[in-house]
Amino acid sequence: MSTPLAREVAGKKFMWDGATYVTRGDARQAMDAYKQDGFEVHMFLEEDKYLVYTRRLVTQAAAG
Give per-residue pLDDT as tens, 1-44: 589 999 999 999 999 999 999 999 999 999 999 999 999 999 99
pLDDT band for position 50 (cuts 50, 70, 90): very high
pTM, two decimal places: 0.85
Q: Kindly report the length of the chain.
A: 64
Taking CA atoms, 16 is separated from 5, 7, 25, 44, 61, in Å, by 5, 8, 17, 10, 26
Residue 51, Cβ neighbours under 10 Å: how many? 21
Q: What angle do CA 23, 26, 29 make, to 5 degrees?
A: 150
